[in-house]
Chain A
Amino acid sequence: MLGFSTRSDKTRAEFEGLVAPWLDSLYGGALRLTRNERDAEDLVQDTVMRAYRFFDKFERGTNFRAWLFKILTNTFINGYRRQVKERSLGDESERQSVEAQFFSADTTDQAQNPEDFLLQRVMSDDVLKAIDGLPIDFRMVVILADLQEFSYKEIAEILDVPVGTVMSRLFRGRRQLEGLLRKRELAEEAPLVDLNAYRERKKLG
């Protein structure tokens, strides 16, 4: 009995030590995959518990972070994707209308020049929204490359696809992302109502 408990205790301590540094990045990735906090928390919890259950399958000394993200993406694809899809079907029209507000149809086509600098006034929120609007295959690659900074080879292993596929998805994903952001920029070039000025006017009036 004592031998058993000591061993499982040691395994758990080892696992906790390995997983603790990556909880934030797992959550960040989960948030972009599920697009909402509640599902992201559930996904991270499921991922870690699954990792713990299969911890004896993890080859010591190999890339633990990549192993965790492989479990994260698999768990998402197998469980959450359908659930999230079903949920998003209901508010699909809403999501599109939000996008339509940001990126009106007439600006879409002229915004595809990749040679332009993105403006500094692009906000984190805009980028995240744009990522959330990407198709899931592109989204996963962009999250893994630009948020988690995995190498092409690591991403290929995590998603179980060839490196060439990773490259083409990343290329197209980034292209779409920049396109979406550029549309956003163009939409913002219209004069904005200055809230402070409006308040000042009200006060004076």
Chain B
Amino acid sequence: MNCRDLEPLVMPYLDGELVEAERLAVERHLTECAGCSKQAEVGRHNRTLLRTLVKAGTPPAPESLKAKIFTSVRAVEARQRQGRFLRLSAAAAGVALCAFVGHQQWRSFQRRLYVEDAASRHARQFPLEVRLPQPEALEAWFDGKLGHRVAVPRFPNAIAEGARVLNVREKQAAYIRYDAPARASAQPRQVGLFVFGDNSNDVDVGARGAPDLRNSNGYNVVTWREGDLVYQLVTDLEEDDIRELLPSEPPMRVPVPVPVPTRRPLDVQPAAFQR
């Protein structure tokens, strides 16, 4: 190794970055060459001095900075945890929402099944077990036949034809058939009314007990609830006729036009108009 070869190796040598063989070669040359030895000594001195001075002049991180950093790290961790919690909550809320929507749809589907069953049973014209026009007599006839008392609704314009016991799906119901007048034809139309107990609220009648009108198999089916009793009225009457039929039924909120009092014109005119 000559002096020219040594030059690029001095700095890595002083930094301790040479592999064993290179280091030994450099050291051998340094023992033999006074000039290079002097240069290496200067290099070592300057390197040490620089490092010492740089380090001496470098202050530690302010305590306030350290405190701020650890506070921030903790805040981020808390946020991450909160984020996970929120994501979990969102997922839980999603599941709950799906369950709720699913439940609602299930209820709606169930109600639909009751409506369809009532309509199809009414359509099949099962023979009546008793023919009595008076509601009181029908109530007396039903007494004891079902698990609940049957209050037979009084429809002002309809006349009861008779009654029987008939199921709507799995519910044993009182079935009363009426004849009701229709505007569209001279012939009265048949109205079937099912009354059954539903204390488990299987038939989800719309909000606040308002009657629910649906169409099934060409029949209009009105469903309402009074306490534990569900009423299903099945008919081929038009909607207007149904309203006519149930004017006094409290849940059926039909807006009644307020009669405007008409005043008889006075037979008096201003003097100027008098001839």
A186 to chain B, nearest CB (A): 16
Please name all residues of chain B whose beta carbon is closer than 8 Å to the beta carbon of A126 when the two chains form the complex.
53
B15–A152 touching, CB < 8 Å: yes
Interface string of A119-150 (1 = CB under 8 A from B): 01011111110010000000000000111010
Q: In terms of DSSP, what is the predominant structure of the interface of chain A?
A: helix
A48 to B75, alpha carbons, bound, how many Å?
A: 13
B61–A24 touching, CB < 8 Å: yes
A131–B54 touching, CB < 8 Å: yes
Please name all residues of chain B whose beta carbon is closer than 8 Å to the beta carbon of A11 when the two chains form the complex.
77
B270 to chain A, nearest CB (A): 87
User: A1-B88, A117-B46, A178-B46 are known contacts. Are A122 and B73 too (CB-CB below 8 A)?
Assistant: no
A170 to chain B, nearest CB (A): 7
B71 to chain A, nearest CB (A): 10
B60–A52 touching, CB < 8 Å: no
- How many chain B residues touch A (CB < 8 A): the figure is 39
CB of A187 closer than 8 Å to a CB of B: no
A72 to chain B, nearest CB (A): 12
Interface string of A161-195 (1 = CB under 8 A from B): 00000010011001001100000000000000000
User: A27-B60, A122-B53, A127-B50 are known contacts. Are A15 and B81 too (CB-CB below 8 A)?
Assistant: no
Contact of B62 (CB < 8 Å), options: A12, A41, A123: A41
Please name all residues of chain A whose beta carbon is closer than 8 Å to the beta carbon of B80 when the two chains form the complex.
8
User: A118-B46, A118-B50, A171-B11 are known contacts. Are A124 and B73 too (CB-CB below 8 A)?
Assistant: no
CB of A71 closer than 8 Å to a CB of B: no
CB of A94 closer than 8 Å to a CB of B: no
Please name all residues of chain A whose beta carbon is closer than 8 Å to the beta carbon of B76 when the two chains form the complex.
49, 52-53
User: A28-B59, A146-B54, A174-B11 are known contacts. Are A118 and B49 too (CB-CB below 8 A)?
Assistant: yes
CB of A4 closer than 8 Å to a CB of B: yes
CB of B45 closer than 8 Å to a CB of A: yes
CB of B51 closer than 8 Å to a CB of A: yes
A52 to B75, alpha carbons, bound, how many Å?
A: 12
Interface string of B79-106 (1 = CB under 8 A from A): 0110011001000000000000000000
A48–B69 touching, CB < 8 Å: yes
User: A12-B74, A115-B39, A152-B12 are known contacts. Are A27 and B65 too (CB-CB below 8 A)?
Assistant: yes
B65–A12 touching, CB < 8 Å: no
A5 to B46, alpha carbons, bound, how many Å?
A: 53
B73 to chain A, nearest CB (A): 5
A174 to chain B, nearest CB (A): 7
A26–B73 touching, CB < 8 Å: no
- Chain A, range 20-46, C-beta contacts under 8 Å to B: 20, 23-24, 26-28, 31-32, 41, 44-45
Please name all residues of chain A whose beta carbon is closer than 8 Å to the beta carbon of B38 when the two chains form the complex.
115
A116–B42 touching, CB < 8 Å: yes
- Chain B, range 203-248, C-beta contacts under 8 Å to A: none
A177 to B74, alpha carbons, bound, how many Å?
A: 41
B260 to chain A, nearest CB (A): 66
The 7 closest A-B pairs by CB, nearest first: A124-B57, A27-B61, A28-B58, A24-B60, A127-B53, A12-B77, A124-B53
Residues of chain B having any CB pair with chain A under 8 Å: 11-12, 15, 17, 38-39, 42-43, 45-47, 49-51, 53-62, 65-66, 68-70, 72-74, 76-77, 80-81, 84-85, 88
Given contacts A41-B65, A45-B72, 10 further A-B contacts (CB under 8 A): A4-B84, A12-B77, A23-B66, A27-B65, A117-B45, A118-B46, A128-B58, A147-B55, A147-B58, A170-B11
